[in-house]
Structure formats: structure tokens, C-alpha cells
Amino acid sequence: MTVTPDSPSELNRRTVLRRAAAAGLLAAPAISALAACASEDGDGGTTGEKTEANPFGVGDKQPLEVAFFNGGFGEDYAKFDVAAYEAKWPGSKVDLKFSKLILTDYQPRFYGGNPPDLLNNSSPETIPVGPVIQGNQLRDLTELLDAPSYDDPKVKVKDTLVAGTVESGLFNGKPYTLNYAYSIYGMWYDETLFATKGYTVPKNWDEFAALAEKAKADKIAAFTFQGVHPWYIFNVVNEFIWMAGGLDAFMKIDNLEPNAWKQDAVKLTAERLAEMAAKGWVQAGASGLDHTTTQQAVLDGKALFIWCGSWLEGEMAKTIPAGVKLAVAPPWNISASDKSKYGTVHAAPGEGFIVPSRSKNPAGGLEFLRMMLGKEQARKFAELTKSLPVVKGAADGLTISNALTSASKVAAAAPEVISWRYEGWYAPLVTAVGNAATDLLAGKSTPDAFMAAVQKVADEVAKDEKIVKQKRTA
């Protein structure tokens, strides 16, 4: 079977496990002030001759430091890319580093003026790009996107990418992040368990409720979530709001309109989450468990559904029991009057890479990223991670796994693609939604309390002059 990613329009970066902490934003003035004392690196670390095959003028003997997030995609694809770079530039030595907390490990290096040459800005807490962009500390990636592609110099890099990739990395209209993985999100489940029990994947709330009661009788939780990482349930909230209210609901939310978090689509979403908790459909104690523990509950048949991205199989590869066949379903409709049709999917380019402008070899960082966008490297990413890359056709013909095949089918059949913008714009609001939703599913809150808590933070963000405001127009 051919694996081909869907083509979504304007999509925000996933920020896989992305919950840019408020602390990162509070540090913004320090970053900007520090950067203001420095001057832009005039030659970008260039020491080699700029040619069609070497568009950034990389020197053969320039050391390079690249830092990757060590998460669901693992380390192997990064090691493969390093080997390829060193093979092309045999005089260079790549210092490859891995981190589970990019904000903690690498924000101080922006302060110190010695960031790595390429940074995979993805983890539970990423570095907010706004402050470092304002401090002139990130390279505008237009030169990368307009450069000759790695495989065919007649084709620009930007023309090798699936639709929505460039747009997903924009800040104030300019590309500063290159998102590398094309992630399909949704409700993951075990096809084998469903077949054994005679369960049917629900398409609407009534069907989900009926299934939840059957599962409860079988001593299986209908739903679980990665409780101590609120970013996951944050996404469920947004998907349900989109199903109920469509784009119009998110135009209000993204643009911080008054009472956007008290509109009908939000109220219904909160009521549905509260209902799940009240009726005992949620795995007991999930709010205090981590991602791998609750994901394992689905693999072990203790829960039916968990929301996640298409990196799930790769992340859990070592503990998937024999016979389990992971598959993904789009969010079900939560009312008969929903604005969006069943099958609407949340899919987006994610797993962002940035090139610091004040590193020792930013030209090498650009070249390393250009190489990663070559078909051989992108195909190897798909093979090693069981996830789709953003490079057109890179995964064609691969029959890697049931999970990836399922995700590809869901994306290809989608009548509409879900996208919101505020996740990449307003970190405090992201945190507020995740925390308030966690309380709802733990039975510690009410729909009214949820709406009030989130609206309070939205109002604070809207009034905070230190936070740069963005405007969604479509």
C-alpha cells in the first residue's frame, strides 16, 4: 500500500508534547536585552564557496553541533543523518546531543550566546520562539526554503514539502521553524481487542456512550489520558470544540475575543468531559499517571481509547504485546448539531527545527536541515520512526505498520482538517486549558469552573502588553 500524507491548508505546528511554559515567556526580556548587545553574524559561519551543491557555503572542516529531542521518535534517525552529513563533509565532525527537556537545557545557551548550530525545538517544554526572534537570535529560513533541494537542484526545498509545512513554521509572516514530521492525531485503539469483543468504533457521542457502558461492564475503561502531561488532553478539548463549533469557534478563541471560552461549543465540550468522569468511563487515577503508563493501558486492554499522535507506535514499540494492532480514529461528533462532519481530522506538520543565528556554524545547521529534507533521509525517518515526514513522496510504497497505514487512511479520507493557532502564540492559555481539563476528567471541577478558569487566563493574556498578539484571518 502507498503511504501518502494528506495536504492540509494553513496548519499550526503541533508542538508534539508542546506546552511552552509561562516561565519561558517571562524570560523574554532577558533574551531580547542580551541579544540587543550583540551584532548579527555577518557571514553566517560561511567558510566554503557557495555553489549549487553547497548553497550556504559550508566549510569542509567546520565542526557542527546539532541537538535533538529524545522523545517518541527516538535517536536512530538523528544518528543516520549525522553519518550522512559526515560522509558528505568528511573533514567535519558532528557533535550530536540529545535532550528530554529542550527549554531547560538550551534556553540558557541562548542567554550565553553559544547555542547549537541546529536545534530540534520539541519536548514537554520548548523554547518559545517569539522572544528569540525578537532578539534576532534565529535565522529566517527563507534562504533554506529557496535553496536547491538536496536531490534535484532544479527544485527548491520548499517545493518538496507537503502543503502546510511552510505555513506551520511562520511567525509574523516569516519562516523561523521547519517542522519535520507530519503527524496524524486522534483516538488510538487496538483493532484486535475491538474485533475480539465485537466493539465498533463510534462516530458520534451516543455511539461512544453505548460503547463506554459495554466496556465498563467488561471492566475496561472507555478512555484514558496522559494525566501528568496536560498537553494531551488540551488537544482533546480543542478537537471537541472544533467538532461542535467549527472554524468560527476558533476564530474567536485564536483572536482572544471576549468570552470566547464561554461560547456554546466550549460549554458542550466541557460537559462531555465531565460526563465521562461522572459515569466512570475514564481510567481510574489517569490524572496522576504519565504518558507511557496510560498508553500502555490501551496496549494491555485496560482502556479502549487514548488521544495521541502518530508517533505512538514508535514510542511504545518495546512494550507492545504480540497481536496488538494499533489504529487511529478521528474525533467523534459530540452532538447532533456539530458544525463539522465525522472524519474531520487533526493533522499537522510538527517536530520543529530552528537554526540559531549566533551559533558558531549556522551555515552548517542550514545544510544539515537541507540534507534531512532529502528523500533518502526522509524515507529513513519513516522507516525508523513509523511516522510520516513532510517531504512529498518520501514514504510512498512503504508498508511499515498497521498504525501508520491507519493514520494515512484517516488523513486521506478527511473532509476537513482541524487547526488552531493560539497553541503557538499564547503559552499561558495552553497551560490553563490543559490543567482545567485535567481537573474535569479527575472529577474535581465542573463545566462552569472550567470555562471561568480558562476565560480568566485568556483575558489576562489579552491585556498583557508584554505578550505579542497575533491575528487569525482564516
> Is the pLDDT score of 267 beyond 60?
yes
- Residue that is written with C-alpha cell 487533526 in the block: 346
Q: Are 203 and 314 in contact (CB under 8 A)?
A: no
Q: What is the pLDDT of residue 24?
A: 33
**Residue ranges of domains in the chain, CATH in brackets:** 22-183+348-414 (3.40.190.10), 185-346+421-463 (3.40.190.10)
Q: What is the pLDDT of residue 272?
A: 98
The pLDDT tens digits for 419-474 are 898 998 898 999 999 999 999 999 999 999 999 999 999 999 999 999 989 899 88
pTM for this predicted structure: 0.76
Q: What's the mean pLDDT when you consider all of the chain?
A: 89
The pLDDT tens digits for 374-394 are 999 999 999 998 888 999 988
Q: What is the pLDDT of residue 19?
A: 31
The pLDDT tens digits for 146-160 are 999 999 999 999 999
Q: Which has the higher per-residue pLDDT, 300 or 168?
A: 300
| Count of other CB atoms within 10 angstroms of residue 83 | 12
Q: Are 286 and 224 in contact (CB under 8 A)?
A: yes
Q: Are 69 and 77 in contact (CB under 8 A)?
A: no
Section 333-357 average pLDDT: 95
What gap in Å lies between CA 136 and CA 126, rounded to an integer? 18
Q: What is the pLDDT of residue 286?
A: 98
Please give the C-alpha separations between residue 47 and each of 57, 325, 326, in angstroms, as whole numbers.
6, 51, 49
Q: Are 428 and 25 in contact (CB under 8 A)?
A: yes
Q: What is the pLDDT of residue 412?
A: 82
Q: What is the pLDDT of residue 4?
A: 39
Residue 49, φ and ψ in degrees, nearest 5: -80, 135
Q: Which has the higher per-residue pLDDT, 37 or 303?
A: 303
Q: What is the pLDDT of residue 344?
A: 96
pLDDT band at 45 (very low <50, low <70, confident <90, very high): low
Strands 174-175 and 170-171: antiparallel
Section 329-344 average pLDDT: 97
What gap in Å lies between CA 472 and CA 111, rounded to an integer? 31
> Taking the CA atoms of the chain, what radius of gyration do you get in angstroms?
22
CA dihedral 108, 145, 182, 381 (to 10 degrees): -80
> Is the pLDDT score of 265 beyond 90?
yes
What gap in Å lies between CA 79 and CA 72, rounded to an integer? 15
Q: What is the pLDDT of residue 46?
A: 57
Q: Which of 47-56, 89-98, 248-257, 326-335 has the lowest mean pLDDT?
A: 47-56
3-state secondary structure the chain: CCCCCCCCCCCCCCCCCCCCCHHHHHCHHHHHHHHHCCCCCCCCCCCCCCCCCCCCCCCCCCCEEEEEECCCCCCHHHHHHHHHHHHHCCCCCEEEEEECCHHHHHHHHHHCCCCCCEEECCCCCCCCHHHHHHCCCECCCHHHHCCECCCCCCCEHHHHECCCHHHHCEECCEECCEEEEEEEEEEEEEHHHHHHHCCCCCCEHHHHHHHHHHHHHCCCEEEECCCCCCHHHHHHHHHHHHHHHHHHHHHHHHCCCCCHHHCHHHHHHHHHHHHHHHCCCECCCHHHCCHHHHHHHHHCCCEEEEEEECCHHHHCHHHCCCCCCEEEECCCECCCCCCCCCCCEEEEEEEEEECECCCCCHHHHHHHHHHHCCHHHHHHHHHHHCCEECECCCCCCCCCCHHHHHHHHHHHCCCCEECCCHHHHCHHHHHHHHHHHHHHHCCCCCHHHHHHHHHHHHHHHHHCCCCCCCCCCC
Angle CA(423)–CA(273)–CA(406) in degrees, nearest 5? 70
Sign of CA dihedral 450, 456, 462, 464: negative
The pLDDT tens digits for 101-134 are 999 999 999 989 999 999 999 987 889 888 899 8
> Is the pLDDT score of 84 beyond 90?
yes
> Is the pLDDT score of 235 beyond 60?
yes
Q: What is the largest CA-CA distance in the chain?
A: 70
Give the long-range contacts of residues 151-154, CB within 8 A, separation 24 or more. Answer: 151/374, 151/375, 151/376, 153/52, 153/53
Q: What is the pLDDT of residue 388?
A: 87
Q: What is the pLDDT of residue 422?
A: 93
Q: What is the pLDDT of residue 401?
A: 85
> Is the pLDDT score of 7 beyond 50?
no
Section 351-365 average pLDDT: 96
Q: Which has the higher per-residue pLDDT, 365 or 20?
A: 365
Q: Distance between alpha carbon 129 and the CA centroid of its chain, in Å?
A: 15
- C-alpha cell read off for 469: 498578539
> Is the pLDDT score of 64 beyond 60?
yes
pLDDT over 90 for what percent of the chain? 73
Section 214-220 average pLDDT: 98
> Is the pLDDT score of 69 beyond 80?
yes
The pLDDT tens digits for 408-432 are 889 888 999 998 989 988 989 999 9
Tell the burial category of 323 from Cβ atoms under 10 Å away from its Cβ (0-12, 13-18, 19+).
exposed
Nearest to 17 by CA among 66, 61, 73: 73
Q: What is the pLDDT of residue 113?
A: 93
Q: What is the pLDDT of residue 474?
A: 85
Q: What is the pLDDT of residue 17?
A: 34
The pLDDT tens digits for 268-295 are 999 999 999 999 999 999 999 999 999 9
Q: What is the pLDDT of residue 48?
A: 84
